[in-house]
Amino acid sequence: MDRPFSLPPRLRHYLLGSDNLPLFYQVHHTLLLLTCVFLAISATFNFAYLDIPFIYNWILLANSLMQIVLWYFSRYKQQFKRMAIIYVFNILFVSLPLNWFMDAGSYGPTLAFTYIAVIYCTVVLYEINYFRLPIVFMMVAQPLVLIQIEHIHPSWILTYTQPEQRYEDIMICNLISLMLMIAMMGVYSRKLNHEINRANQYARRLKQISETDSLTQLKNRSFILDIFRKIFTTSYHLHVLVVDIDHFKHINDSYGHSSGDQVLVQVAACMQKYCHQHGALLSRYGGEEFIIIAFFQTFAQTVDLADHLRRQVATLSFSHCENVTISIGVAQREKHDSHHQLIKRADQALYQAKRHGRNRVCVTPAS
Ligand SMILES: Nc1nc2c(ncn2[C@@H]2O[C@H](COP(=O)(O)OP(=O)(O)OP(=O)(O)O)[C@@H](O)[C@H]2O)c(=O)[nH]1
């Protein structure tokens, strides 16, 4: 979802990198580009308004150019981590100390930049973990050291010549710090949302895979048993059908395993069509066996469905092998049944169907 201030996707890709990159890449590239712009603005502002040694402004400009180089190598030469380390060292040992001495020390705006740098290191650099903690420690310690130096050698600090300069400088630098932070957090939250959506998609896909039989695309055994357990406590009108393809081993042995697979797929699709029409749940129970949970008011309706399925499967024709038939065992829920007992009784009925010649429906009598 694009927000009002987001860049056009192609420009964002060109400047910040692909959306599929790890979270902190785009944040880091945003920060490099903004640092470059702000350093250039600071140097220009100093040249125009402040009485600061020219050498300092040239260092600012050189530093600004260096950010572009870092961005280029990070964005286009896959040297992200190396460039991030150089960037942080530059901030820690060049930019912040220089700013401190040239821009009024604790009286000036450097501390605001230090806070942004600490946020950057703690939030964004988590993928370079070995490097992050020592750097955060040094960033926290650095102002303490600089304050001590300022205390011992106040003359080393270049301060404002007029009070208005301080107000302007603080105002501009605070604005820059806030913009850096907003940009960093904005990109960070956008990327975070993107990653959360991706994780949710994977979770949904994994759930679907774990519930589905890959050959027939029916729900699998663990899914149906789970559902069965849940509805067993609330639905009394429960009927179970256990379905088995007759002489399936013969199909495999005579026409090959892939023909057997094809039979399974077609039989499953045929039964699914009718189960769906009658609100019954069909799943592959394992091998060439299927299980159906039906919710009819009367047992006779369930037996009708079973017989209908048997007749429909018998009419199926297959490109690589002979027709097949199915046997079905049907059981209805009794008062003190557990769901295991109900399935077991349907299985016993199936066994009867097989024993009495196959291609038939057998039911277990009520106990
Ligand atoms: N092609 C294929 N065959 C499978 C699959 N799962 C199990 N089988 C085969 O299904 C056959 C089941 O055979 P049996 O349990 O002996 O039963 P049957 O030959 O169907 O005989 P009756 O059930 O007594 O009618 C075995 O040969 C298994 O290897 C599968 O996913 N694909």
Cα–Cα distance measured from residue 276 to residue 282, given in angstroms and rounded to the nearest whole number: 8
Among candidates 57, 54, 78, 83, which has minimal Cα distance to 68? 83
Q: How far apart are CA 178 and CA 155, in angstroms?
A: 30
Percent of the chain topping pLDDT 70: 97
ipTM of the complex: 0.96
Work out the average pLDDT over 248-263.
94
Instruction: Answer yes or no: pTM beyond 0.80.
Output: no
* Lowest-confidence pick of 119-123, 236-240, 327-331: 119-123
Which residues carry out catalysis?
Answer: 288
Of 110, 104, 93, the residue nearest 173 (C-alpha): 110
Buried b (16+ CB within 10 A) or exposed e, 340-364: eebbbbbbebbebbbeeeebbbbbb
| pLDDT bracket for residue 3 (50, 70, 90) | low
Residue nearest to atom 3 of ligand 1 (CA): 260
Question: What pLDDT, on the 0 to 100 scale, is given for residue 181?
Answer: 85
Domains, the chain, ordered by start = 9-207 (no CATH), 221-363 (3.30.70.270)
Confidence check: pLDDT of 367 > 70: no
Per-residue pLDDT tens digits for 177-200: 888 888 878 877 877 888 899 999
> Which one of 288, 318, 321, 347 would you pick to mutate in the ligand 1 pocket, going by the greatest count of ligand atoms within 8 A of its CB?
288
- 248 Cα: distance to centroid of ligand 1 (angstroms): 5
Asked if 329 contacts 350 with a C-beta cutoff of 8 angstroms, the reply is: yes
| pLDDT tens-digit readout, 90-146 | 999 999 999 999 889 999 999 999 988 888 888 777 777 788 888 989 999 999 999
CA 269 to centroid of ligand 1, rounded, Å:
18
CA distance 280 to 302: 10
Instruction: Output the residue whose Cα is nearest ligand 1's atom 12.
Output: 249
